């Protein structure tokens, strides 16, 4: 036996054996990082578009400031060097002003006026254009020439600026990198906070509950292992309370069952010895038959019958007490022959004039354990015979018929008799062990055992009809499912 401490250590070890990578906490951590990053991407797209427009606007503002100063004098009088200096400072190739009539006037221009690749009207750009423009610049830009124009401040004139997008793209890349780093930082912090909180609120209590469940499973009889619920109002609190209540109930039921099992063991020991004693009594009383004394001849058969009943009672109880029926060994069984065998056995028992009628077709097959099916049929048939022979009345027809039909993969066997039908008590406790008997000397185990055996075949046993003159029990047994693989390999095998 393990010491309780050892058991607990083992339990804890089993709990710990959930690898960290598959633990709930890790999954949660990774998911949180993923979701925050996703949210950041959604925020990033409009903000990079905005960044690009603002950057261009600033350039245009500076150009406009220079342009307004230049307008005070004659811009064309500016020397080549001065023009180049101005353009270099702004990072542009040309600055122009446009009046109300849409006529452009060049203020400063590089020596080689560049060819423009893209026109951007700052006043007319909507969000969609801004977004696609930003993505375009980020992914494919860097060597394009832009012409940017739009109103500046309160001025009634539009300004124009021609500039390469190289610096714009550089600034956008730096901005993106910063946003990415910041997003990572934010998601890490958020994930850590979420992780810590969820770990506190959920994972730890769940782990504690799992541990106590394993603890309980190891020794369900030990009251100290019932989970002690924390005072929580949330779902985990409810789960803990329900678990504690369930464990208490289970413990009580287990206690009761243990008492019953102990009692059952004691009864079956007594029963076993009793059967041996009765068997010896049976042997001895057999000799009474030889005594010619009429008084002895009168009571000897009664005594023998009483002993017979007592022995069969003991044997039935012993058989039921045996742990479990073995699993059925199923093969194709010819039902007609099996029914004949059952009738043969019962025919010896009785000379009550019961008419046995085997209506099963000669080729009818059932997929079942033949021994177990034999027992089921014997139990049903014997019940019927017993009921009919007890039913006095010379003119009454006593017939027991067995028939069978098949529907697809399901075989249905009907056991019909012309007896008086099941008494009320038997009906109320149909298939309940020890309680169903309404017959003196009956154990009330026959139908319970029969049902258990049929169920082990995946089938059902039911009382279809029971009234004076006609009682029908139906056994339904489905064929075993055939594994497709097995069937295929059987087909492939050479004959």
Ligand X SMILES: Nc1ncnc2c1ncn2[C@@H]1O[C@H](COP(=O)(O)OP(=O)(O)OP(=O)(O)O)[C@@H](O)[C@H]1O
Q: Which of residues 463-492 bind ligand X (CB under 6 A)?
A: 471
How far apart, in Å, are the Cα atoms of 266 and each of 259, 272, 274?
Answer: 11, 10, 12
| Minimum gap (Å) between residue 471 Cβ and ligand X | 4
Choose one: 208-216, 285-293, 382-390, 406-414; the region binding ligand X (CB under 6 A): 382-390
| Minimum gap (Å) between residue 274 Cβ and ligand X | 16
| Minimum gap (Å) between residue 423 Cβ and ligand X | 5
φ, ψ (nearest 5 deg) of residue 153: 55, -135
Q: What is the CA radius of gyration of the chain?
A: 48
Q: Which of residues 388-447 bind ligand X (CB under 6 A)?
A: 417, 419, 421-423, 426, 436-439, 442-447
Please say whether the beta carbons of 125 and 133 come within 8 A.
Answer: yes
Q: Which residue in the set 67, 421, 446, 459 belongs to the binding site for Mg ion (CB under 5 A)?
A: 446
Nearer to ligand X, 46 or 469 (CB): 469
| Minimum gap (Å) between residue 446 Cβ and ligand X | 2
Residues 6+ apart with CB under 8 A from 239: 209
Asked if residue 383 binds Mg ion (CB under 5 A), the reply is yes
Nearer to Mg ion, 164 or 446 (CB): 446
C-alpha distance across the termini of the chain, in Å: 56
Q: Is the Cα torsion angle 457, 260, 318, 269 positive or negative in sign?
A: positive
Residue 384 interacts with, from Mg ion, ligand X, none (CB under 5-8 Å by kind):
ligand X
Nearer to ligand X, 183 or 443 (CB): 443
Residue 56 interacts with, from Mg ion, ligand X, none (CB under 5-8 Å by kind):
none
Residue 437 interacts with, from ligand X, Mg ion, none (CB under 5-8 Å by kind):
ligand X
Nearer to Mg ion, 137 or 316 (CB): 316
Please say whether the beta carbons of 192 and 128 come within 8 A.
Answer: no
Q: Which of residues 22-81 bind ligand X (CB under 6 A)?
A: none
| Token pair in block for residue 176 | 């993106």
Q: Sort 338 into a burial class: Cβ within 10 Å, 0-12 / 13-18 / 19+.
A: buried
Nearer to ligand X, 314 or 379 (CB): 379
Which residue's structure tokens are 């109880």? 317
Choose one: 54-62, 75-83, 293-301, 382-390; the region binding Mg ion (CB under 5 A): 382-390
| Minimum gap (Å) between residue 246 Cβ and ligand X | 34
Angle at 457 between CA 452 and CA 461, to 5 degrees: 55
| Minimum gap (Å) between residue 431 Cβ and ligand X | 8
Nearer to Mg ion, 146 or 380 (CB): 380
Nearer to ligand X, 212 or 316 (CB): 316
Residue 438 interacts with, from Mg ion, ligand X, none (CB under 5-8 Å by kind):
ligand X
Nearest CA among 119, 182, 170, 106 for reference residue 145:
119
| Token pair in block for residue 472 | 């029908």
| Minimum gap (Å) between residue 336 Cβ and ligand X | 21
Nearer to Mg ion, 134 or 380 (CB): 380
Q: Which of residues 312-351 bind ligand X (CB under 6 A)?
A: 316
Residue 301 interacts with, from Mg ion, ligand X, none (CB under 5-8 Å by kind):
none
Nearer to ligand X, 301 or 441 (CB): 441
Which residue's structure tokens are 């139908």? 447
Instruction: Give the binding site for Mg ion (CB under 5 A).
Output: 383, 446
Instruction: Give the binding site for ligand X (CB under 6 A).
Output: 316, 379, 383-384, 387, 417, 419, 421-423, 426, 436-439, 442-448, 471
């Amino acid at each position: 036996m393990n010491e309780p401490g050892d058991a607990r250590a083992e339990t804890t070890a089993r709990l710990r054996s959930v690898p960290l990578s598959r633990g709930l906490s890790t999954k949660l951590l990774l998911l949180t990082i993923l979701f925050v990053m996703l949210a950041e991407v959604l925020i990033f797209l409009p903000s990079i578009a905005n960044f690009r427009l603002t950057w261009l606007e600033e350039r245009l503002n500076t150009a406009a400031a220079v342009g307004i100063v230049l307008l005070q004098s004659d811009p064309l009088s500016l020397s080549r060097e001065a023009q180049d200096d101005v353009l270099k400072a702004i990072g542009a190739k040309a600055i122009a002003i446009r009046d109300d009539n849409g006529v452009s006037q060049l203020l400063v221009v590089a020596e080689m006026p560049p060819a423009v690749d893209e026109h951007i009207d700052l006043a007319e750009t909507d969000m969609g254009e801004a977004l696609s423009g930003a993505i375009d610049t980020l992914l494919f830009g860097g060597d394009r020439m832009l012409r940017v124009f739009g109103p500046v401040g309160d001025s009634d004139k539009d300004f124009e600026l021609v500039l390469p997008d190289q610096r714009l793209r550089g600034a956008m890349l730096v901005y993106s990198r910063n946003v990415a780093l910041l997003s990572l930082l934010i998601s890490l912090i958020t994930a850590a906070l979420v992780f810590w909180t969820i770990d506190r609120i959920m994972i730890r209590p769940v782990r504690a509950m799992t541990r106590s469940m394993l603890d309980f499973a190891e020794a369900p009889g030990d009251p100290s292992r019932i989970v002690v619920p924390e005072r929580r109002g949330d779902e985990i609190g409810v789960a803990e309370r329900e678990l504690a209540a369930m464990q208490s109930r289970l413990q009580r039921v287990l206690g009761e069952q243990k008492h019953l099992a102990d009692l059952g063991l004691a009864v079956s020991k007594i029963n076993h010895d009793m059967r041996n004693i009765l068997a010896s009594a049976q042997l001895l009383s057999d000799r009474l038959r030889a005594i010619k004394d009429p008084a002895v001849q009168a009571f000897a058969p009664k005594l023998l019958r009483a002993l017979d009943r007592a022995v069969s009672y003991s044997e039935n109880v012993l058989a039921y007490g045996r742990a479990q029926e073995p699993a059925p060994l199923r093969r194709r069984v010819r039902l007609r022959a099996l029914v004949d065998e059952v009738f043969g056995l019962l025919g010896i028992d009785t000379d009550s004039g019961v008419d046995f009628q085997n209506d099963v077709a000669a080729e009818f097959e059932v997929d079942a354990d033949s021994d177990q099916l034999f027992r089921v049929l014997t139990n049903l048939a014997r019940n019927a015979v017993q009921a009919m022979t007890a039913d006095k009345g010379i003119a009454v027809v006593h017939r027991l018929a067995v028939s069978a039909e098949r529907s697809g993969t399901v075989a249905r066997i009907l056991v019909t008799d012309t007896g008086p039908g099941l008494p009320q008590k038997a009906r109320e406790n149909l298939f309940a062990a020890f309680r169903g008997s309404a017959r003196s000397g009956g154990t009330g185990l026959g139908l319970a055992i029969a049902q258990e055996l049929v169920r082990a075949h995946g089938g059902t046993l039911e009382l279809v009809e029971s009234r004076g003159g006609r009682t029908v029990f139906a056994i339904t047994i489905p064929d075993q499912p055939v594994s497709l693989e097995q069937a295929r390999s059987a087909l492939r095998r050479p004959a």
